[in-house]
């Protein structure tokens, strides 16, 4: 039989009576194994030993459900068998909660990384599993962390639409069950399945730049309710097509950030003509391979090999003069502006160093550089690359994740040159700022 502690703290004693020496403390909701009775005392199993606690403060559990163990020390070893002779196969951090599969004397069996593991019962607090809530991930890619802070280690990721189990709330974070272990995700990216507003993070806790997570990304239609006439040319055609493709989602997200949809339309048109993928290039996402970035991440440490295949201007404007060749005896080829060639360069560079090559490209409709992957919530640049290859929604959400307060303020003030200095770099701010304004004006003209 088992029982659950009903008071905040309960002394555990060596014998049945208040005169017996206290040997420990149980906290409220702790679950104990009851092995016998002695008048007003329960004989209990306490850390593998026989001990006693007042039965007045322990409620018997007729049909106990699953038990949860919460780790008390800073680090707790997980072993492959019960006992100190077991090999260490991993560790749990303080505050981690795991479900107890079985008890083996003073050792607890848990599910650890898809297999059985064992932890010492003397270093955990056992409680009855609390009521949990189911939730759905409402972000394209969501980091799972070891603690309730952005500084905590990323231990995995979740995708848009994934179902999760929410155990508790820690400020703006939810504690969840991840790979059968306790972990944490930003609450703003989780939609609870239960219609219980008291359990949601209030809007006032989020900055205006963060509230995009409150939009149901997966159910918001890409296309707007009202389409624009595409019997146009030039910039007018570009902005009309971009609006018709993604205007529904863009309008929602732009409204949350208090910027005009025309600003976002203009940025996408300038970066990629509003396209995320090109049908004529095997339907692959639009990219731009930057030789000077590949030099930074790989070339400067392999200069001889780099210079056999890549050229650039190293005398002040390294973003100019980009050419490449597959072999040292071939002619140099310009590749910017031709997506098939951009991909040929990327695929070749990936054979030299995959991560450096992907860090060196701008991706998709917003043309965000791979080296910004962590800012967008991706643990690796490979994750970002694969996500962007899958769905245009990742491009759009990535754009809004990338926009920092300075960029947003510049767009709100229609200072497109300043925006371009942040987004495209100071060396090209005048050119890009002019193009963004021209597309902004074109969109407003056809919408008026």
C-alpha separations of 441 from 246, 255, 259, 396, 406 in Å: 19, 19, 15, 21, 22
Greater model confidence, 64 or 38: 38
C-alpha separations of 358 from 172, 288, 345, 387 in Å: 32, 10, 11, 13
29 contact partners, CB below 8 Å, separation of at least 6: 4, 5, 127, 128, 130
pLDDT higher than threshold 70 for residue 132: no
pLDDT digits (tens, 9 = 90+) for 338-359: 999 999 999 999 999 999 999 9
pLDDT score at 203:
28
pLDDT digits (tens, 9 = 90+) for 49-107: 788 999 988 888 765 556 778 787 767 888 888 888 888 888 777 667 787 877 766 78
Instruction: Identify the burial level of 109 via C-beta atoms within 10 angstroms of its C-beta, where 0-12 means exposed, 13-18 middle and 19 or more buried.
Output: middle
Among the ranges given (254-258, 428-432, 435-439), the one the predictor scored with the smallest mean pLDDT: 254-258
pLDDT higher than threshold 80 for residue 216: no
Highest mean pLDDT pick, 12-26, 37-51, 412-426: 412-426
pLDDT higher than threshold 80 for residue 108: yes
pLDDT score at 202:
29
The pLDDT confidence band at residue 230, using thresholds 50, 70 and 90, is: very high
Greater model confidence, 39 or 332: 332
Average confidence (pLDDT) over 162-190:
80
pLDDT digits (tens, 9 = 90+) for 252-274: 888 877 899 999 999 999 999 99
C-alpha separations of 301 from 296, 307, 350, 353 in Å: 9, 11, 16, 12
pLDDT digits (tens, 9 = 90+) for 279-308: 899 999 999 999 999 999 999 999 999 999
pLDDT higher than threshold 70 for residue 218: no
pLDDT higher than threshold 70 for residue 238: yes
pLDDT higher than threshold 90 for residue 313: no
Greater model confidence, 183 or 395: 395
pLDDT score at 205:
31
Average confidence (pLDDT) over 305-312:
94
The pLDDT confidence band at residue 211, using thresholds 50, 70 and 90, is: very low
pLDDT score at 292:
95
What mean pLDDT is reported for the chain? Answer: 84
The pLDDT confidence band at residue 213, using thresholds 50, 70 and 90, is: very low
pLDDT score at 365:
94
């Amino acid at each position: 039989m088992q029982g659950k502690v009903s008071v905040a703290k309960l002394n555990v004693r060596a014998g049945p009576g208040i005169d017996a020496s206290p040997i420990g403390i149980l906290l409220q909701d702790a679950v104990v194994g009851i092995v016998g009775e002695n008048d007003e005392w329960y004989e209990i199993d306490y850390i593998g030993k026989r001990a006693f606690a007042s039965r007045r403060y322990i409620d018997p559990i007729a049909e106990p459900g699953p038990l949860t163990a919460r780790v008390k020390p800073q680090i707790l070893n997980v072993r492959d068998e019960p006992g100190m002779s077991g090999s260490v196969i991993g560790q749990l951090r303080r505050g981690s909660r795991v479900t107890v599969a079985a008890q083996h004397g003073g050792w607890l069996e848990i599910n650890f990384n898809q297999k059985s593991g064992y932890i010492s019962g003397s270093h955990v607090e056992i409680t009855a599993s609390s009521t949990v809530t189911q939730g759905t991930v409402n972000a394209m890619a969501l980091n799972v962390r070891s603690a309730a802070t952005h500084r905590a280690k990323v231990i995995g990721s979740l995708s848009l639409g994934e179902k999760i189990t929410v155990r508790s709330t820690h400020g703006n974070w939810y504690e969840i069950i991840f790979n059968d272990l306790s972990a944490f995700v930003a609450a703003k990216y989780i939609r609870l399945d239960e219609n219980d507003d008291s359990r949601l993070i209030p809007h006032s806790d989020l900055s205006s730049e963060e509230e995009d997570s409150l939009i149901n990304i997966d159910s918001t239609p890409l296309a707007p309710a009202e389409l624009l006439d595409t019997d146009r040319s030039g910039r007018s055609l570009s902005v009309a097509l971009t609006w018709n493709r993604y205007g529904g989602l863009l309008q929602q997200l732009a409204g949350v950030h208090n910027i005009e949809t025309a600003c976002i339309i203009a940025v996408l048109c300038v970066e990629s003509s509003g396209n995320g993928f090109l049908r004529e290039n095997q339907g692959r996402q639009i990219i731009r391979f930057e030789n000077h970035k590949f030099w930074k991440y790989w070339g400067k440490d392999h200069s001889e090999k780099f210079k056999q295949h890549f050229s650039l201007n190293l005398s002040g404007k390294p973003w100019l003069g980009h050419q490449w060749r597959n072999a040292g005896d071939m002619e140099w080829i310009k590749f910017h502006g031709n997506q098939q060639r951009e991909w040929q360069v990327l695929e070749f560079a990936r054979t030299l160093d995959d991560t450096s090559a992907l860090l060196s490209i701008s991706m998709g409709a917003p043309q965000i550089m791979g080296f910004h992957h962590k800012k967008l919530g991706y643990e690796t640049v490979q994750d970002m690359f694969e996500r962007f290859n899958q769905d245009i929604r990742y491009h759009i959400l990535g754009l809004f994740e990338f926009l920092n307060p300075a960029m947003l303020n510049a767009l709100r003030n229609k200072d497109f040159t300043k925006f371009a200095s942040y987004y495209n770099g100071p060396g090209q701010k005048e050119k890009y700022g002019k193009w963004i304004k021209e597309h902004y004006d074109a969109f407003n003209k056809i919408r008026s």
